[in-house]
């Protein structure tokens, strides 16, 4: 009885996985980041990106990168703006009306980036991403430690 159950279970898993793969192919499929959801073929919500993933993404930059610190601890190359984490007017003026554009925010570690991301979502920007570990993680990655 056990011998028969294992092959049946494996075939069910194989069918399930192959069906899911086919379902994700096509224009409605998103490659969303941790904590984001795919809505109508676009990523939505607050996501998270590692310093390593950000570094790779800078090669084919398709996002706005914003330093949200209100003091200076450095800047990541290709940063588009420095706007304090709680400067709602500054964000709105800089970002404009394109509410679906991909926005990556960072601070020294994470707390102020989280507050900035929540502010942006309140203003209906739908694709906001936080750099995990902030500029501290970026510096660690790029120092070779």
How many C-beta neighbours within 10 Å does residue 73 have?
13
pLDDT at 10: 36
* Single pTM value for the model: 0.75
Alpha helices in the chain (DSSP H): 2-24, 51-57, 88-95, 111-122, 134-143
**Superfamily holding 27-143:** Rhodanese-like domain (3.40.250.10)
Chain center to CA of 49: 5
Q: Provide the β-strand partners of residue 45.
A: 127
Give every CB contact of residue 121 below 8 A, 6+ residues apart in sequence.
45, 46, 128
- DSSP letter at 79 equals -
pLDDT at 144: 67
Average pLDDT score over the chain: 81
Cross-sheet strand order for the sheet of 42-49? 37-39, 42-49, 127-131, 102-106, 64-67, 81-82
Chain center to CA of 132: 9
Name which residue leads in pLDDT, 6 or 59.
Answer: 59
């Amino acid at each position: 009885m056990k011998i028969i159950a294992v092959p049946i279970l494996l075939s069910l898993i194989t069918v399930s996985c192959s069906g899911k793969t086919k379902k994700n192919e096509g224009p409605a499929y998103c490659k969303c980041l941790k904590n984001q959801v795919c809505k109508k073929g676009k990523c939505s919500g607050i996501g998270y990106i590692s310093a390593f993933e950000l570094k790779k993404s800078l090669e084919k930059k398709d996002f706005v990168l914003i330093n949200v610190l209100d003091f200076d601890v450095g800047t990541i190359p290709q940063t588009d703006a420095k706007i304090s984490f709680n400067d709602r007017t500054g964000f709105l003026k800089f970002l404009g009306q394109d509410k679906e554009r991909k926005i990556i925010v960072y601070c020294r570690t994470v707390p102020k980036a989280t507050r900035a991301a929540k502010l942006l979502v309140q203003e209906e920007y739908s694709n906001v991403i936080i750099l995990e570990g902030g500029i501290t993680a970026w510096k660690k990655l790029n120092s070779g430690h």
